[in-house]
Structure 1
Amino acid sequence: MPPTPTAADLFVARYRQMAGYNGWANRRLYGAAAGLAEDQYRAERGAFFGSVHGTLNHLLVTDRIWMRRLTGAGEAPSRLDTILFETLAALTPAREAEDTRLLAFIMGLGEADLVAPLAYANTAGQLFEQPLATVLDHLFNHQTHHRGQVHCLISGFLGKGAAPSLDLIQYQRETGLAAAA
């Protein structure tokens, strides 16, 4: 019988699960976005970053900003609406690389890292300090928020059946994490 996980083990496992989920959800969403016609992909639809194209670029921008704050490495665009890549074909491998980078970072963390304070400046130059775990909560929640917008846009163009489930419980079931908990 395996040992019962401690609260610290579960705390660390939570962020590893979220990093895995993040990449899984992004792959599913990008797969659905690949079914859009070019005019649909770029159509201004009133989302906060306008289009599927603008929103997917925004998510990569913010992840790069946060990873720069977390690791001190990598490029960090200065504007949240920066368009890093002009096509979905170019954006996709960059997204996959960033998801891999984020997962590797998370896999290297322990409980002490998660409760340690992180000092950083936002894009306006305001200074903040808060526990790393709360920053990661924001990072993953932010991804979910904007993925939901893209999901809605795809559903509007292609119908509900074309937009995949992005539910965390679906990821847990597919990966066996639901039974493991």
Structure 2
Amino acid sequence: MPTSPLPETLEQLVTHRYRTFAAYNQWANQRLYAAAARLGDEQYKAARGAFFGSVHGTLNHLLVGDRLWMRRLTGSGMEPAGLDAILFETLAELAPARAAEDARISAYVEGLDVGTLAAEHSYVTVNGTRFTQVLATILDHVFNHQTHHRGQVHCIISGLLGNDAAPSLDLIAFQRESGISRRG
């Protein structure tokens, strides 16, 4: 987990923000996957009222979304067929793919500078609509999207196994663990 020094310039602050979000994303996914591994297969795959149905459907959707966005941003990588695609049938198969995608996101963000973050980027949605927006705002969506659906999975796990089984995914917990926030 990166514990880079606090940024001293505005440019460092901007790039640090997205590197921190990428690191937080990876940290939260690792914690959530560890909690999901405590579910039985029936619990893991049962429809629980989340937008993508189950823990299984939602975790697959998160990987689908990240793969779609990384393809839009980099021009490479897999393009899943739809937002509800099931890329992997088991958590054991999904977990290494999630870890690899998190590493890919981190590496991508690590290479960005403030000029690139402020530049416009065009992409085409699944239904063929073309949009253009500032790259930083796209990344805001990518990281917020992860948080939104992780919250759904967290809620399902809490309901099935109790609150103690679902780890804290709060950004401040990550900031404290990584050294971004210090006592005193």
TM-score under structure 2 normalisation?
0.95
Q: Does 1:116 align with 2:119?
A: yes
Matched, 1:77 2:80: yes
Letter in 2 for 1:7: L
- 1:175 aligns with 178
Could you list the runs of 4 or more consecutive aligned residues of structure 1 that deviate by over 2 angstroms after TM superposition? Answer: none
Counterparts of residues 131-142 of structure 1 (less than 5 Å):
131-142=134-145
Q: How does 1:28-177 map to 2 (within 5 A)?
A: 28-177=31-180
Instruction: Provide the C-alpha distance between the structure 2 equivalents of 1:43 and 1:102, rounded to a whole number of angstroms.
Output: 29
Q: Between Structure 1 and Structure 2, how many residues are aligned?
A: 179
Gaps of 5+ in 2: none
Contact (CA 8 Å) 2:7, 2:13: kept in 1 or not?
A: no
> Structure 1 residues 155, 119: CA separation in 2 closer, same or farther (over 3 Å shift)?
same
Distance 2:8 2:175 in 1: 18
- Measured against aligned partners, the alpha-carbon deviations of 1:156-181 in whole angstroms (never above 9, x if no partner) come to 1000000000000000000101139x
Identity %: 63
Q: Deviation per CA, 1:29-80: give whole Å up to 9, x if none.
A: 0000000011000010111000000000000000000000011110011200
AA aligned to 2:77 is G
Between the aligned partners of 1:85 and 1:111, the Cα distance in structure 2 is 36
**Alignment deviations for residues 74-95 of structure 1 (CA, whole Å, 9 cap, x no partner):** 0011200000000000000000
Contact kept, 8 Å, 2:6 with 2:180, in 1: the verdict is: no
Note closer, same or farther for the CA distance 1:110–1:158 as it changes in structure 2 (3 Å cut).
Answer: same
Gapped regions of structure 1 (runs ≥ 5): none
In the TM superposition, what is the alpha-carbon distance from 1:4 to its structure 2 partner? 6.8
CA contact (8 A) 2:120 2:132 kept: yes
- Give the letter for the 2:50 counterpart: A
Residue equivalent to 1:13 = 16
CA root-mean-square deviation: 1.4
Provide the rounded CA distance (Å) in 2 between the counterparts of 1:26 and 1:82.
19
Distance 1:4 1:103, change over 3 A: closer
Paired AA for residue 26 in structure 2: G
